Amino acid sequence: MDIPKYRFYTKTHEWALPEGDTVLVGITDYAQDALGDVVYVELPEVGRVVEKGEAVAVVESVKTASDIYAPVAGEIVEVNLALEKTPELVNQDPYGEGWIFRLKPRDMGDLDELLDAEGYQEVLESEA
């Protein structure tokens, strides 16, 4: 299972990558694998203000639909419109082209409350 360093992770299988004053968010390799073939992504609305842990998007696969949660509080400033036509990018490149949304955190320090790669690996091992 691919777990890149230099990202933050949640126990609900989202990743967060700080880029300047924003954070790019997607789902982990583990999550996309568990979902199976992604067929639709319901993107959040740009400008929406969200709280940490709030459901902000939905990823639908041939197996199920799964909520995607905000890893930190902030404002959605961009969504990955490519997923509207090519939702399978979530499966093909979950840490790159398959990102879901970008948000501007209320406080970048909130990222410190998330898991690092090692911590996320421990979560996966405890679920196995």
Which residues, in sequence order, are bridge partners of residue 27?
14
pTM, whole model, 2 decimals? 0.96
Task: Using DSSP, state whether 56 is helix, strand or coil.
Answer: strand
> CA–CA separation, 65 vs 58, rounded Å?
7
The pLDDT, as a whole number, for residue 128 is: 73
Confidence class of residue 1 from pLDDT cuts 50, 70 and 90?
A: confident
Q: Residue 42 is which amino acid? A: E
The pLDDT, as a whole number, for residue 119 is: 97
> What phi and psi, each to the nearest 5 degrees, are found at residue 122?
-65, -40
